[in-house]
Structure 1
Amino acid sequence: MTDADLSLAYRPFSLALAEPLETADGTISSREGFLVRLVDEAGDDPAVGYGEATPLTGWTESLANCERALERAQETLRTGGPSEALETVDRQVAARHALSLALADLQATREATPLYRYLGQGPMVGRVPVNATIGDGSPAETTRQAQRAADRGFDCCKLKVGLRTVEDDIERVRRVREAVGPDVELRADANEAWTYEQAQSALEAFADLDVSMLEQPLPAGALEGHADLRAQNTGVSIALDEGLLEHGVDTICDADAADVVVLKPMALGGIDVARKVAAWLAELDITSLVTTTIDGVVARTGAVHLAAAVPDVPACGLATGDLLAEDLGRDPVLLEKGSAVVPQAKGLGVTDVWTE
């Protein structure tokens, strides 16, 4: 393969959610972005790699800026090759995610290896644990969704909180715990919604309800506040999500602000970047887990491969396909009893998303 053999194309898409997802950041009712196809015309058997750019307000560049970045990447790929194309979209993380995923899919396909082994060079991984993601609905709706998830075999549920009062959220979690029993792990994600006092109140109650993890309870800038919450040793792990983008790994580690760091490949600029961050966190004895930004099947499958390349990864937020009313193509990832079955085909394993 030479740079002259590569061609890049992209097309827009819009995917409606099955139901609006309520979060402290607002309501998500659809996901818009761009499907990317990279073709290597070398030899008698052209190879294809797929990528996906699905911007999310507050996390990535805008949809318009993402399209402009993909236009630049398309031109730069023709004149300067993959490295220069990646460099030209380095600050547009959703666009870079798409291009880097397509390049990795193409290369893993050429090497006839699953993408996760191309990323991690590790042993075969058959499954990765996943959690169910439950929106910030009413107590009755939250309980219904959690019970349905437990009945489907999920042994970990992440509940969105922060849209209501802390007292209401505590009651929602209490009702879920009563409904699913003691054997289902519960996590809560506040998406920066609380003050320190509110977070402390929730943390104390969540400890009594055996909540395992509280994700981003304070604004991303409040690193010392997160460190203080963590120092209380309630038994509830403190996870940072938005905080990673603002502070970086070393600053989080120096502040002792997190037990867990959440990796969103779309927001970090690609699964290649996220894999390096995961390795860095492991060296610092900080747990990393992988979540999507409610993406289409291409990015979602890429995130599954990323999780499979992270040793001893805990339950990840990858079971988000059911949140979509429609998708870009057939999902190659099966969900069984709280696990995602990792595709073992060469490359990404997504094959039917681009139709002429």
Structure 2
Amino acid sequence: MKITAVEAIPYAIPYTHPLKFASGEVTTADHILVRIHTDAGITGIADAPPRPYTYGETQTSIKVIIEDVFGPDIVGLDPFDREKVHAVLHRTINNQVAKGAVDIALWDLMGKALQTPVHKLLGGYTDSMRVSHMLGFKPAEELLEEAQRFGEQYGITTFKLKVGRRPLSLDIEACHVLRKGLGDDVEIYLDANRGWTANEAMEVLRRTADLGLTMLEEPCDAKEAMSRRRLVDHSPIPIVADESVPTAGDASRELLSGGANAICIKTARSGFTEATEILGLCTGLGVDVTMGNQIDTQVGSLATVTFGAAHRATSARAGELSNFLDMLDDLLAEPIQIVDGRISVRDLPGVGAEIDADKLEHYRTDKQQVLVTSGA
């Protein structure tokens, strides 16, 4: 089996409301759907979510790097020769989201060729994941109302509170209101998206010490090496590295330098292959991991469930899997369902993300198919 063509299709689906957090705001999912075709008639797919304010990648840059740089050199390769494909990808630095999408599409191809679900190829530990819902920048009472609604409607009992605002009192108030309103049995953890300094993060932890918060993700910029190490040393809860650890090498740096003592894995930027390397590093060092969300569509969320459910360590905590509920629509032919606070893997060959052709045609923004083939 040989790769015959690569597609990078831009599309746009609006969100129901602006999603706000310390590092930016988004109103539309301007993503790229990656499709890798083969001479066996099998196609692998994946979703690439640009986050220019976090990783520097845009919808245009992802499309161009895949079509002009990666695509021409992977056409003609056997999709099972993943190391050859990754040798092509690794020649170019950065561009992690584009690389991750190519990798997931390859795994999808392999699963379909083997007539096996990818979650079984990766490890097959369980068949579902608990869901964590992300709460964005809103007044405290509105956050509580949203959390209660998602608990009642979907059975979700874990919530990630986006923080990093100034004054700090806004976020501290939200923590107290959520804990009082949700009770002690609901898990709450924080994500500042580098919105604070390390010293500000220490003050927030001091003023929320009695609330039973479980984690603090990316409290400050990783460049605050000395202060961040001091924060990790004195924090009563794990300090999770996220934006600062898109690769296994980055994760090694943060863990060995003392800049973090837990790692967030996102398949949207690591694919399945590098995510496996990061996971192996963390389990070998005895470091906790979480499965994060890059404001993923249902296609991307299904990839997260596929990887997260495959391993014991990644399925131990609730994964951030519900952001697709903030979208007006999606490309999946069969929508994801959250039942009793969980999302199940799909017992289908590959990742199980079948695309609705009519929806893709409606939301794609190029309106013209561009294939990178061996004749390109």
Per-residue displacement from partner, 1:26-67 (whole Å, max 9, x unpaired)?
21111212212222232xxx2221122221112252222211
Aligned 8 A contact 2:205 2:235 in 1: no
Q: CA deviation at 1:335?
A: 1.3
Q: Which residue of 1 aligns with 2:170?
A: 168
Aligned 8 A contact 1:74 1:85 in 2: no
Aligned 8 A contact 1:275 1:310 in 2: no
User: Which has the larger displacement, 152-161 or 225-234?
Assistant: 225-234
Indicate which of 255, 265, 277 corresponds to 2:267: 265
Cα distance change, pair 22–259 in 1 and its aligned pair in 2 (3 A): same
1:159 and 2:157 aligned: no
1:104 and 1:216 map into 2 onto residues whose CA distance is: 29
Q: Which residue of 1 aligns with 2:58?
A: 62
Q: CA deviation at 1:8?
A: 2.2
Per-residue displacement from partner, 1:148-184 (whole Å, max 9, x unpaired)?
1222311110010112311121111111111111110
Indicate which of 12, 20, 23 corresponds to 1:22: 20
Aligned 8 A contact 1:70 1:89 in 2: no
2:96 and 2:258 map into 1 onto residues whose CA distance is: 27
Q: CA deviation at 1:80?
A: 5.5
User: Which has the larger displacement, 140-149 or 181-190?
Assistant: 140-149
Q: Which residue of 1 aligns with 2:5?
A: 7
Question: Aligned residues, how many?
Answer: 347
Cα distance change, pair 103–354 in 1 and its aligned pair in 2 (3 A): farther
2:61 and 2:198 map into 1 onto residues whose CA distance is: 35
1:289 and 2:286 aligned: no
Cα distance change, pair 278–331 in 1 and its aligned pair in 2 (3 A): farther
1:87 and 1:54 map into 2 onto residues whose CA distance is: 23
Q: How does 1:200-349 map to 2 (within 5 A)?
A: 200-234=202-236, 236-245=237-246, 248-268=250-270, 270-313=271-314, 314-331=317-334, 333-349=336-352
Q: Which residue of 2 aligns with 1:189?
A: 191
Q: Secondary structure at the match of 2:312?
A: coil
5+ long unaligned stretches in structure 1 = none
Q: How does 1:5-154 map to 2 (within 5 A)?
A: 6-42=4-40, 46-57=41-52, 58-72=54-68, 73-79=70-76, 86-90=86-90, 91=93, 92-120=95-123, 122-123=124-125, 125-151=126-152, 152-154=154-156
1:17 and 1:66 map into 2 onto residues whose CA distance is: 21
Identity of paired residues, percent?
25
What TM-score do the two structures reach when normalised by structure 1? 0.90
Per-residue displacement from partner, 1:113-146 (whole Å, max 9, x unpaired)?
11112223x44x1211220111011112211112
- For 2:340, give the aligned amino acid: K
Cα distance change, pair 165–330 in 1 and its aligned pair in 2 (3 A): farther
Cα distance change, pair 212–130 in 1 and its aligned pair in 2 (3 A): same
Return the structure number with greater relative CO, CA threshold 8 A, min gap 6: 2
Aligned 8 A contact 1:253 1:284 in 2: no
Per-residue displacement from partner, 1:54-85 (whole Å, max 9, x unpaired)?
21112252222211112123322335565555
1:86 and 1:55 map into 2 onto residues whose CA distance is: 20
Aligned 8 A contact 1:142 1:172 in 2: yes
What root-mean-square deviation, in Å, do the aligned CA atoms of Structure 1 and Structure 2 show?
2.1
Q: CA deviation at 1:253?
A: 2.2
